């Protein structure tokens, strides 16, 4: 793309979840039109888009019609089939490109990419059979984490193997459905952190610093920025993120997730070639949000200012909140009920509520998030945790 793509051009989004929704909202604010493609009708992104294309990703005729209707294509999750992305590229620029998708869609390719480019990861081996899993455990040791090579997220497709007893190993192999996988050494990390960064068409680079992430049941729970890490750790994390974006020739936003060990080492856990859950707090906290930055990058505009206006924290809102009395199954109400947003916002008037427009609440499903700004990240995290607790208890 030789010239910037300016409003009112049409942005095409593959995928229709909350990330696409927030990207579409940013696009609307900047005067762009939005078309979305996914198998789902009346989706979170479709509610915001000018046009919603509903068809399976494998329906390449429908994909072609979608791609011919837009000026630019991007994606909001990395499990879009590679053939779908390549088909779009025949008719419109695709950012990030298919190489980023190809690497991020497979954990083995992802780890091998990191090693090739001198980036630190936990020890790992490829697993393609029960026999190779057994051999891998002899090499890696236990405990270890068995992960499917594809399609895993939020803890899905992962099994922690605590010892090498054959019956236990067999059970874990059965649990992942005998799929191609990787076996990683268990990392006794101090905390998990991420860097959300962007690279422009001209190779320019911008980042949102290091964000600290707390998880619950393998799902991101609370993110805090800036992360309380030593300056050298923050510098190294940003530089590693830069290497990833440049090596993949990314145009757009990408997130690198790290394990930070007790002795200050950073190990890359995984990458996401798109805006990321941990970057949601940038909407309120930064001069430019990760979603506006995505648009700026893929449209060939100058990257925006990423400085923080205030420390901030974000808490995910899962579908469990819609089911009261979850701690007392005997009296649980199985019909979902909308949480008491009014009470929470009255008690915490500075808290910002984001709901994703999902029509069905399910336990473990990301339905929205809360963001708070404060004088410190710790204070902001306490505010969003307290606000969410009030939703859980009905106070």
pLDDT tens figures, 32-87: 999 999 999 999 999 999 999 999 999 999 999 999 999 999 999 999 999 999 99
d(CA 25, CA 46): 11
- By three-state DSSP, how is residue 157 classified? coil
Q: Which of 109-123, 165-179, 313-327 has the lowest mean pLDDT?
A: 313-327
Tell me whether residue 100 is in a domain: no
**At residue 331, does pLDDT exceed 50?**
no
- Mean per-residue pLDDT, 308-336: 79
Of the pLDDT bands very low, low, confident and very high (cuts 50, 70, 90), residue 391 is confident
pLDDT of res. 325: 62
- Mean per-residue pLDDT, 319-334: 67
Q: What are the residues whose beta carbons fall under 8 Å from the beta carbon of 136, sequence distance 6 or more?
A: 125, 126, 127, 144, 183
Q: Which of 154-158, 217-221, 261-265, 299-303 has the lowest mean pLDDT?
A: 154-158
d(CA 169, CA 188): 21
In tens, the pLDDT along 16-29 reads 999 999 999 999 99
Contact status, residue 285 vs residue 311, Cβ threshold 8 Å: yes
**At residue 327, does pLDDT exceed 60?**
no
Are residue 277 and residue 200 in the same domain, yes or no? yes
Are residue 285 and residue 383 in the same domain, yes or no? yes
Percent of the chain at pLDDT > 70 equals: 96
Are residue 180 and residue 197 in the same domain, yes or no? no
Number of domains in the chain: 3
Are residue 175 and residue 248 in the same domain, yes or no? no
Closest CA to 364 of 223, 149, 154: 154
d(CA 384, CA 395): 15
The domain in which residue 227 lies consists of 189-393
Q: Of 185, 217, 235, which residue is a domain's last?
A: 185
Are residue 336 and residue 269 in the same domain, yes or no? yes
pTM: 0.94
pLDDT of res. 361: 95
Are residue 271 and residue 130 in the same domain, yes or no? no
Closest CA to 179 of 147, 139, 144, 135: 147
Q: Of 170, 185, 200, which residue is a domain's last?
A: 185
What is the rounded average pLDDT for all residues in the chain?
Answer: 94
Are residue 137 and residue 39 in the same domain, yes or no? no
Tell me whether residue 311 is in a domain: yes
CATH number at residue 155: 3.30.1490.20
For residue 93 the two structure tokens come to 């620029």
In tens, the pLDDT along 191-249 reads 999 999 999 999 999 999 999 999 999 899 999 999 999 999 999 999 999 999 999 99
Query: How many C-beta atoms lie closer than 10 Å to residue 51's C-beta?
Result: 15
Helix axes 60-68, 82-89, angle to 10 degrees: 40
For residue 203 the two structure tokens come to 């190779």
Are residue 234 and residue 130 in the same domain, yes or no? no
CATH number at residue 242: 3.30.470.20
């Amino acid at each position: 793309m030789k010239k910037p793509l300016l409003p009112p051009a049409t942005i095409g989004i593959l995928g229709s979840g909350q990330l696409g929704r927030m990207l579409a909202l940013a696009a609307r604010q900047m005067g762009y039109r939005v078309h979305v493609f996914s198998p789902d009708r009346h989706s979170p992104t479709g509610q915001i888009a000018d046009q919603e294309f509903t068809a399976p990703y494998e329906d390449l005729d429908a994909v072609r019609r979608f791609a011919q209707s837009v000026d630019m294509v991007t994606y909001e999750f990395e499990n879009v089939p590679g053939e779908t992305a390549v088909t779009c590229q025949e008719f419109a620029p695709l950012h990030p490109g298919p190489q980023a998708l190809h690497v991020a869609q497979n954990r083995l390719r992802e780890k091998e990419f990191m090693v090739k480019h001198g980036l630190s990861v936990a020890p790992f081996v490829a697993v393609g059979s029960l026999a190779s899993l057994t051999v891998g455990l002899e090499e890696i040791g236990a405990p270890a984490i068995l992960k499917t090579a594809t399609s895993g997220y939020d803890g899905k497709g992962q099994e922690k193997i605590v010892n090498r007893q054959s019956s236990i190993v067999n059970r874990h192999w059965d649990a992942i459905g005998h799929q191609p996988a990787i076996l990683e050494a268990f990392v006794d990390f101090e905390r998990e952190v991420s860097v959300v960064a962007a690279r422009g068409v001209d190779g320019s680079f911008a980042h949102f610093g290091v964000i600290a992430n707390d998880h619950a049941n393998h799902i991101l729970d609370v993110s805090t920025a800036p992360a309380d890490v030593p300056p050298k750790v923050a510098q190294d994390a940003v530089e590693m993120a830069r290497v990833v974006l440049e090596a993949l020739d990314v145009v757009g936003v990408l997130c690198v997730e790290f394990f930070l060990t007790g002795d200050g080492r950073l190990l890359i856990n995984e990458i996401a070639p798109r805006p990321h859950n941990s970057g949601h707090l940038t909407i309120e906290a930064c001069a430019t949000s990760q979603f506006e930055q995505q648009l700026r990058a893929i449209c060939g505009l100058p990257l925006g200012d990423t400085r923080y206006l205030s420390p901030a924290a974000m808490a995910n809102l899962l579908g469990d909140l819609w089911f009261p009395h979850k701690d007392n199954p005997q009296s649980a109400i199985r019909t979902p009920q909308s949480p008491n947003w009014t009470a929470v916002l009255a008690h915490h008037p500075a808290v910002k509520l984001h709901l994703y427009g999902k029509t069905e609440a399910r336990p473990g499903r990301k339905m929205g998030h809360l963001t708070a700004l404060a004088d410190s990240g710790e204070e902001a995290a306490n505010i969003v945790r307290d606000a969410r607790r009030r939703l859980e208890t009905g106070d």
